[in-house]
Amino acid sequence: MGAHRPDPGDLRGTAMTASTSPADVRGVRRDPRASQRDFRVLLDVLSRPGRIGHLAVTRGTPAATIPVAGLADVEVPLAVLADGGRQEWARALRVATGAPAAEPQAARLVLALRPLTPAEIGALPRGDALHPELGARLVQAVDALLPGAQAAPGDTVLALTGPGIDGRAELAVRGFGEDAARALAAANAGFPAGIDTFLVAPDGAVAGLPRSTRITLDGEG
């Protein structure tokens, strides 16, 4: 998945700051067997929107860093959006993967450890009909993922249709607001341009929303 993984002890120009510990770097690195398992889970949920898969979480490390650790490398500009107290994970991922830092508007891979605003989602790269590969991949941390039938009050229920879905699927998301869901749907309205998205909960639950999926809010379709 990634081409080159610098060793934490061999940083070659990627400075480890005082707030980025070797433990942080080890936390986001995955051994080859774990990386292959992660890849299979991510591929499965992206090809079957609405299905919830499960990633093996490293204790003390945000689960949403797992897809990024597998998808980032020295040729993939990475943007990490986090609250001030979680910026160490941005530095740890860049040290562990070698991915160059980028602003969200120019990134190929975006990790959001906080909820993105609709405007932030709308500003992410989408590519175009001739160059859809230039669209960003978004990994969005959420509070919980559940089948639509298990939604609790306050959850955002996404109604999904499109390739890989038998009719219609429903996914309940906690910590991903309705306005953000509408912004993602709008960003993907010009398929094949758009944003492939992974939603990741703290327990390792993960769901994929490829750009080919039509997203509506339950009751608004």
Q: Give the mean model confidence (pLDDT) for residues 97-124.
A: 96
Return the SS3 of 189.
coil
**Alpha carbon distance 33, 10 (integer Å):** 22
As its CATH architecture, domain 22-143+178-215 has 3-Layer(aba) Sandwich (3.40)
Q: Annotate 64-102 with DSSP letters as a single string.
A: THHHHHHH--TTS-EEEE--GGGHHHHHHHHHHH-PPB-
Burial 16-55 (b: 16+ CB within 10 A, else e): beeebeeebbebbbbeeebbeebeebbeebbebbbbbbeb
Domain ranges of the chain: 22-143+178-215
Mean pLDDT is lowest, of 6-15, 133-142, 160-169, for 6-15
Contact 113, 89 (CB under 8 A): yes
Instruction: Dig out the tokens for 64 from the structure.
Output: 């949403």
pLDDT digit string (tens) for 29-53? 888 898 899 999 999 999 999 999 9
Q: For tokens 């080919």, what's the residue?
A: 212
Q: Torsion angle of alpha carbons 41, 197, 102, 177, nearest 10°?
A: -130
pLDDT digit string (tens) for 161-200? 999 999 999 999 999 999 999 999 999 999 999 999 999 9
Confidence of residue 22 (pLDDT cuts 50, 70, 90): low
Q: What is the pLDDT of residue 149?
A: 95
